[in-house]
Structure formats: structure tokens, C-alpha cells
């Protein structure tokens, strides 16, 4: 059963074991960015529309998709994840829609597809930006009415699934570059979530690290360990380009290598270069992602400053910013800003 989101004794907001089918599903944090994300997850979980989840590698996109599923009306149905980037193009349609015996080489038996397996539940398309042009056409046709034909069959079947998709890169960039169909993006992006990177979740790195320590100590039958102050200070200043996944793997390694009950990370061995990287633009290999993050941070800081100067009055803040009130209100909604908390 689901547990309510509420601060525990350590001041954490935790969603844990929402369903017996998802024992590893957990969300941990208490930062403003994290709580705003949770509020959006709860809101989109109440409806059936497709959702596009975007965010950097390791930021928890599949975890967010599972939260939407298990908090929604389909929680008793299956959650079926598909890694679109891991399937060869010639096998993707067969995996999604199934096939009849003899439909292609090595198809010795008929097989149900993943859309059939997800019937009554949720189909999660991870790395959807990796789909080929041919696969995008097949997926677009399916999304129109959820009707499909298994490969090698003349029978048209129908299923009833909620479709969630995730991408490491903004799909709008992929469409502008001609790598992704605009019509398919619009089908998938009826609802849109952008997960914050760990560096934007102030204080959550330490909270997550403490959580991972508790989980791993229980897993290995070890007494509970803690980080020393120097390690905690370094943790707060590091940029975590690999986000939560990088943090979890780092905690796992440091915990197992630590002697005694205190984890004193080998920061010199890890290298000053790692800490210097935190001051570099995020994900230097992708200019568009770095630019989008800089624009997002600027928008949020500017809107907050305008609201504070105007005592939380949206009309006055919009006039100060030189924007229409409606457009300014959309920025509030986009960044999860509650104007009531900024009133004098």
C-alpha cells in the first residue's frame, strides 16, 4: 500500500515501497526543487494523459514514472518499462507489438508484445529520443487509437495503456534537428515534467547519502555508519554531473571501503579535478542541455526577485518585468513558485 509523503525524523520526504511490485521504488529529499517535483508528480498521476519526462542522466526519470503509475488509478495494473535505446530497430516493432510464428527469421513461436503485457497498466518508453524514423512512425500510429497488428498477422488488436515517455535530451531540440517527429512529440508531450538535477536540489545530496548508507548497511549486515564533516562539506560543494545514480554508486563504494563507523572519503584520491568540474557548465558534451539549465535558473531567480520586490503581487511583478500577467503567471507555474509565500 501507499505511504503518505511526510517528513520523517530526519526531515526527509520519503516515498518508499508504494507497491509490492516496486520494492526498490523510493524518492528521498526535502529541497524546494524536490518538493515542487513531487507536487507535479501527484498532479499528473490523477489523470490518464501521456506524460513526457525529461531530465539529465541519473536524475530519476524511471523512478518518477513509477511514482505516477503507483499513485494513479492504474496502480493495480502492470508497469512495463521499455528501453528504446537498447533495442535494435528491426526488433523494436516485434517487441512492442508482438509477432506471429514465422513472421521473421528465428520467430519459431508466436509472442505477445509489450503493449499487450501493459494492458490495463502503464507502458514506459525510456530513451524515446533514440527511436529510429521507422519506429517513430509505428509508435505514432499506435498512439492515435491504441490499435496495432502483431508482425505477420492480419488481425488488428486493441489495448488500453497509459503511455509515459522519458528523454535525456529535450525533444524540442531533437525535432529542430530533424531527428524526431513533431507530431509524435506532441502526442507524447500532452503533460510535461522536467526533473531537477541533483545540483539544484539544495541539501538533498546529504539526505540521499544518509538514506543510501542506511539501506546498504542493512543489506550487508553492517552497523550504521556516518560521514565525517569534511566529507559532508565536500558533498555539498560537488556538482554531481551523474546526479542521483552517481551519488548512490559513490556512497556504495565509500561505505564498503571505510574502516570503522565513520566514512572519511578519499577526497584527494578522488581528485581536485572532480571538485573543479562542479564549476564547469553542466554536461559540457551537450551545449543545448547546458543552455537550457542556465535559462531555467535565470528565469526562476528573476521571477523570485521580481515577486519579492513587489511583495508577492503578480500584477505588479509582471509590470516590473515588462511581461503580460498571464505570461508571468505561466512562469510561476513552470517553476513551481507559490506567490503566497512571498507576501510581506
Can you give the CATH number for the domain in which 265 is found?
1.10.8.60
Residues with Cβ < 8 Å from 291, sequence gap 6 or more?
A: none
Q: Return the closest-CA partner of residue 254 out of 196, 29, 238.
A: 238
Q: Return the closest-CA partner of residue 206 out of 4, 8, 29.
A: 29
Can you give the CATH number for the domain in which 301 is found?
1.10.10
Range of the domain at 82: 48-194
6 falls within a domain: no
Q: For the whole model, what pTM was predicted?
A: 0.71
299 falls within a domain: yes
Q: Return the closest-CA partner of residue 138 out of 84, 185, 92, 190.
A: 92
Residues 167 and 90 in one domain: yes
293 falls within a domain: yes
Give the residue from 250, 277, 304 where a domain finishes.
277
Residues 217 and 167 in one domain: no
Residues 95 and 171 in one domain: yes
Q: How far apart (Å, rounded) are the C-alpha atoms in residues 13 and 5?
A: 6
Q: What would you measure as the largest C-alpha separation in the chain, in angstroms?
A: 72
Give the residue from 142, 173, 194 where a domain finishes.
194
Residues 268 and 308 in one domain: no
Residues with Cβ < 8 Å from 220, sequence gap 6 or more?
A: 256
Residues 247 and 298 in one domain: no
Q: How far apart (Å, rounded) are the C-alpha atoms in residues 70 and 57?
A: 22
Give the pLDDT of the chain (344 residues) as one tens digit per residue. Answer: 333 333 343 434 443 333 333 333 478 999 999 999 999 999 999 999 999 999 999 999 999 999 999 999 999 999 999 998 888 777 788 888 876 765 566 666 777 889 999 999 999 999 999 998 988 999 999 999 999 888 777 788 899 999 999 998 899 999 999 999 999 999 999 999 999 999 999 999 999 999 999 999 999 999 999 999 999 989 988 999 999 999 999 999 999 998 889 998 866 444 433 434 444 444 444 566 666 777 777 888 788 888 878 878 888 888 888 888 888 888 888 877 776 655 54
Number of structural domains in the chain: 3
Can you give the CATH number for the domain in which 82 is found?
3.40.50.300
Q: Return the closest-CA partner of residue 166 out of 131, 123, 125.
A: 125
Residues 149 and 100 in one domain: yes
Residues 93 and 212 in one domain: no
Give the residue from 194, 214, 236 where a domain finishes.
194
179 falls within a domain: yes
State the helix-helix crossing angle for 61-71 and 32-45, rounded to 10 degrees: 50
Amino acid at each position: 500500500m501507499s505511504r503518505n509523503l511526510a517528513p520523517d525524523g530526519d526531515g526527509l520526504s520519503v516515498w518508499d515501497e508504494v507497491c509490492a511490485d516496486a520494492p526498490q521504488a523510493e524518492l528521498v529529499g526535502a529541497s524546494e526543487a524536490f518538493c515542487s517535483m513531487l507536487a507535479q508528480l501527484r498532479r499528473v498521476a490523477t489523470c490518464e494523459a501521456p506524460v513526457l519526462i525529461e531530465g539529465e542522466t541519473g536524475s530519476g526519470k524511471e523512478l518518477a514514472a513509477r511514482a505516477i503509475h503507483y499513485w494513479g488509478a492504474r496502480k493495480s495494473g502492470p508497469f512495463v518499462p521499455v528501453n528504446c535505446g537498447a533495442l535494435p530497430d528491426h526488433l523494436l516493432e516485434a517487441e512492442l507489438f508482438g509477432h506471429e510464428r514465422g513472421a521473421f527469421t528465428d520467430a519459431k513461436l508466436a509472442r505477445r508484445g509489450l503493449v499487450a503485457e501493459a494492458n490495463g497498466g502503464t507502458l514506459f518508453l525510456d530513451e524515446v529520443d533514440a527511436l529510429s524514423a521507422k519506429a517513430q512512425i509505428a509508435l505514432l500510429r499506435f498512439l492515435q487509437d491504441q490499435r496495432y497488428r502483431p508482425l505477420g498477422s492480419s488481425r488488428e488488436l486493441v489495448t488500453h495503456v497509459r503511455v509515459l515517455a522519458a528523454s535525456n535530451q529535450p525533444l524540442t531540440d531533437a525535432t529542430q534537428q530533424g531527428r524526431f517527429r513533431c507530431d509524435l512529440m506532441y502526442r507524447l508531450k500532452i503533460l510535461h515534467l522536467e526533473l531537477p538535477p541533483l545540483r539544484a536540489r539544495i541539501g538533498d545530496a546529504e539526505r540521499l547519502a544518509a538514506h543510501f548508507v542506511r539501506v546498504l548497511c542493512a543489506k550487508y549486515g553492517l552497523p550504521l555508519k556516518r560521514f565525517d564533516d569534511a566529507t559532508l562539506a565536500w558533498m555539498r560543494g560537488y556538482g554531481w554531473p551523474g546526479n542521483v545514480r552517481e551519488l548512490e554508486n559513490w556512497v556504495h563504494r565509500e561505505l564498503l571501503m571505510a574502516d570503522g563507523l565513520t566514512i572519511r572519503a578519499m577526497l584527494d584520491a578522488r581528485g581536485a579535478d572532480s571538485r573543479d568540474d562542479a564549476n564547469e557548465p553542466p554536461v559540457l558534451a551537450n551545449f543545448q542541455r547546458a543552455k537550457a539549465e542556465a535559462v531555467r535558473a535565470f528565469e526562476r531567480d528573476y521571477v523570485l526577485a521580481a515577486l519579492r520586490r513587489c511583495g508577492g503581487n503578480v500584477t505588479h511583478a509582471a509590470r516590473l518585468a515588462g511581461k503580460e500577467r498571464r505570461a508571468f503567471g505561466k512562469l510561476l507555474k513552470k517553476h513551481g513558485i507559490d506567490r503566497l509565500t512571498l507576501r510581506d
